[in-house]
Copies of this chain bind each other. A is one copy, B any other.
Amino acid sequence: MDITDIEAAAQRIAGHAVRTPLLNAPLLDRMAGRRIFVKAECLQKTGSFKYRGARSAISALSPDTRAKGVIAFSSGNHAQGVALAAAEMGAPAAIIMPSDAPRMKIDNTAAYGAEAILYDRETEDRDQIGAELAEARGLTLIKPFDNEMVIAGQGTTGLEIAEQATEAGIEEAEVLVCCGGGGLTSGIALALADRAPHFTVRPVEPEGFDDVARSLQAGAPQVNNRMGGSICDAILTPSPGQITFPILHAHCGAGLVISDDDALQAMALALKHLKITLEPGGAAALAAALFKLEGDADVIVTASGGNVDAPMLARALQLDAT
């Protein structure tokens, strides 16, 4: 796949996905000692960038296939994206979600009109559950990241970043992306390789789930030992995808790793300075820009999602208050 796939996705989702703003806060810049620009995908429909890929993939199906319905598995953001995009296009949707996903994500998925099917993240294989249900009902499986139309949809974020960086007068930058299976990261990397080749895209992952960082270093896909245990639920995946890894390997700089506390601190600072709600996984790239990245060069980060329950937000606020 290449830039033309992303351009085609941009055409399919135009008028549906939100062109989210690239935010900046001078007082946050001062604190960080560098300019930080924040692509606020928490303001995307359904509260995360996942709507882009979902709308891109479902709109690429033939009308007959689409009418039979779609199925997806997701910790919650892809779930909501697929649920809303399917509802908008009149397609039935079944969503397989881990039972420990944030309540808001499960509730919202159902509220958008999808059927939410819960599974145990530690003991059950979501891929198998998904494949069986798809077979039984004739549903099309919309994978969360290892799907070219999904990657192309996420890549539209990169097209916008390139345009908005030009508008903001950013000539060179590191672009940090919250990374689970690599759908958003590979999409943005492909888009920027064409539109802003001077920018370096780098994945950001939570401690213990740095499969992409290690895979990039090793030059071959690596697997995480843990399956759960971080608050960054949106970006906990076992390994990079078969489609995403070669793209990441071809286009990305070294990965960065943040702790849960880094994510919480970044959430508090996002509320305070940027005036946006971020979930832990959606704050990973901002956390890396604030606490892990060396130097003082401009940095662009994705604020990939904001679907977080009130107690977790309150936990972040307590950090800020102390």
Instruction: Please give the residue numbers on chain A whose beta carbons come within 8 Å of chain B beta carbons, in ascending order.
Output: 18, 20-21, 23, 26-27, 30, 40, 42-43, 45, 47, 84, 104, 108, 111-112, 268, 271-272, 274-278, 306, 310-311, 313-314, 317-318, 320-321
- List of B residues within 8 angstroms of A276 by Cβ: 43, 275-277
Known: A21-B18, A21-B21. A310 touches B104 (CB 8 A): no
Distance in Å from the Cβ of A227 to the closest Cβ of chain B?
Answer: 28
Copies of this protein chain in the complex: 2
Q: Name A111's contact: one of B27, B84, B318 (CB within 8 Å).
A: B27
Chain A to chain B contacts (Cβ below 8 Å), 10 pairs: A26-B45, A26-B84, A40-B43, A104-B272, A271-B277, A271-B310, A271-B313, A276-B277, A310-B321, A314-B317
Q: Are B311 and A321 in contact (CB under 8 A)?
A: yes
The 9 nearest A-B residue pairs measured at CB: A275-B306, A275-B277, A42-B275, A310-B321, A310-B320, A310-B317, A314-B317, A271-B277, A27-B111
Q: How far is the CA of A84 from the CA of B274 in the complex (A)?
A: 16
Q: How far is the CA of A163 from the CA of B275 in the complex (A)?
A: 24
Q: Name A314's contact: one of B21, B108, B318 (CB within 8 Å).
A: B318
Given A27-B111, A271-B310, 6 other A-B contacts at CB below 8 A? A43-B275, A272-B277, A277-B277, A310-B320, A314-B318, A314-B321
